Amino acid sequence: MKSAEITRNTNETKISLNLNLDGAGVYNVDSLVPFLDHMLELFARHGSFDLKLVCRGDIDVDDHHSVEDIAICLGNALNEALGDKRGILRYAHIILPMDESLLLVAMDVSGRAHLSYDVEFPTEKIGNFDTELVEEFFSAFVRHAGVTLHIKKLSGTNSHHIAEAIFKAFARVLASAVSINRDDPDSVPSTKGVIE
């Protein structure tokens, strides 16, 4: 079973996160950032990941630290859960619609952290949530997961739909990339013999 439990305690946040990549889409998410909770619930459901998260952060300042630190924990959990990445497919991509929005997301579980983010939101906020924090989330995630991630908006005029399409596409792509290659389940998918 590919799973990990991560705790992170700083002066800005206290986080407990449990991720099971071989789950059934069961989630219990409580970050005190309602829109992020919604996105992480979509992530768990559409990736069929089990996700438990509790975050207590300095949201009296703003949501930035909570969003970034949760992404750090999620990246660390992915890295730990995959171990030497033996047998995974490694690559995945999708073009996913959400009403008028259309998002392209592609991933390489490469051991190399890189984010290519080409998304403009028509509004600065979705409710009380700063849309710039979507990029911050994925930037922190790739740094700690060691993955290459491309996120490109092809179309979209509704900020909520755009964000939702990003997280749903991210979930589907991650689920595919970490799934086991049935034709070669015992090899690390790299000519180097390691992914680091």
The mean pLDDT value for 50-61 works out to: 96
Total number of domains in the chain:
1
Domain assignment present for 189 = no
Tens digit of pLDDT for each residue in 96-144?
Answer: 999 999 999 999 999 999 999 999 999 999 999 999 999 999 999 999 9
Domain assignment present for 134 = yes
Determine the structural domain holding residue 20 and report its residue range.
3-177
- What CATH number should be reported for the domain holding residue 115? 3.30.230.40
pLDDT classification of 57: cutoffs 50, 70, 90: very high
Domain assignment present for 191 = no
Domain assignment present for 135 = yes
DSSP letters spanning 142-177 = HHHHT-EEEEEEEE-S-HHHHHHHHHHHHHHHHHHH
Amino acid 74 reads L
Q: How many CA atoms lie within 13 A of 61 on its CB side?
A: 11
Domain assignment present for 106 = yes
The mean pLDDT value for 159-188 works out to: 94
For residues 26 and 48, what is the distance between their CA atoms, to the nearest angstrom?
7
